[in-house]
Amino acid sequence: MSKIQDCVIKNRWDILKEFTEARIGLGRVGVNLPTNELLAFQLAHAQAQDAVHLPLDVDSLSQELNNMPIDLKLLNMQVNETGLIQDGCTPILLHSKAQNRSVYLQRPDLGRRLDEHSIKLLENFKSEDITYDLAIVIVDGLSSFAIKENAVKYIKKLTLSLANEQDSWKIAPFAIVQQGRVAIGDEVASLLNAKAVLVLIGERPGLSSPDSLGLYLTYNPKIGLTDAYRNCISNVRLDGLSYDEAVNKSMYLLKESRRLQLSGVNLKERTQDNIIENSFDEQKNFLIK
pTM assigned to the model: 0.84
What's the CATH fold of domain 56-260? Rossmann fold (3.40.50)
Helical packing angle, 144-163 and 35-53, nearest 10°: 70
Residue 172 to residue 169: CA distance in whole angstroms: 10
Residue 231 to residue 106: CA distance in whole angstroms: 26
Residue 54 to residue 263: CA distance in whole angstroms: 32
Please report, for the chain, the start and end positions of each structural domain, with discontinuous segments joined by +. 56-260
Q: CA angle, corner 178, sides to 176 and 182, nearest 5?
A: 80
pLDDT in tens, 94-113: 999 999 999 999 999 999 99
The per-residue pLDDT of the chain, averaged, comes to 87
Residue 154 to residue 159: CA distance in whole angstroms: 9
**Reported confidence tier of residue 75, pLDDT bands at 50, 70, 90:** confident
- 204 CB-contact burial (10 Å; exposed 0-12 / middle 13-18 / buried 19+): middle
Alpha carbons within 13 angstroms on the beta-carbon side of residue 135 total 33
pLDDT in tens, 237-279: 998 999 999 999 999 999 999 999 999 999 987 777 665 555 5
pLDDT of residue 187: 97
pLDDT in tens, 15-55: 888 888 888 888 899 889 899 999 999 999 998 888 899 99
* CA separation, residue 131 to residues 72, 193, 221 (Å): 16, 5, 13
- Nearest CA-CA partner of 125 in 88, 83, 94: 83
Is 188 known to sit in a ligand binding site? no
pLDDT in tens, 21-31: 888 888 899 88
* CA separation, residue 8 to residues 5, 13, 22, 31, 83 (Å): 6, 14, 19, 11, 70
**Reported confidence tier of residue 85, pLDDT bands at 50, 70, 90:** very low
Is 116 known to sit in a ligand binding site? no
* CA separation, residue 154 to residues 7, 192, 204, 243 (Å): 45, 22, 19, 6
Top pLDDT among 17 and 177 is at: 177
Pairing between β-strand 135-139 and β-strand 175-178 as defined by DSSP bridges? parallel
Taking 70 as the threshold, does the pLDDT of residue 86 lie above it?
A: no
pLDDT in tens, 133-163: 999 999 999 999 999 999 999 999 999 999 8
How many CB atoms lie under 10 A from the CB of residue 32?
A: 9
pLDDT of residue 4: 56
The DSSP output letter for 96 is B
- What strands lie across the sheet with 175-178, from one edge to the other? 92-95, 175-178, 135-139, 196-202, 213-219, 230-236
Provide, rounded to the nearest whole percent, the portion of the chain with pLDDT above 90: 61
Top pLDDT among 72 and 18 is at: 18
* CA separation, residue 256 to residues 89, 188, 238 (Å): 26, 22, 27
Is 89 known to sit in a ligand binding site? no
- H or E, element range at 32: none
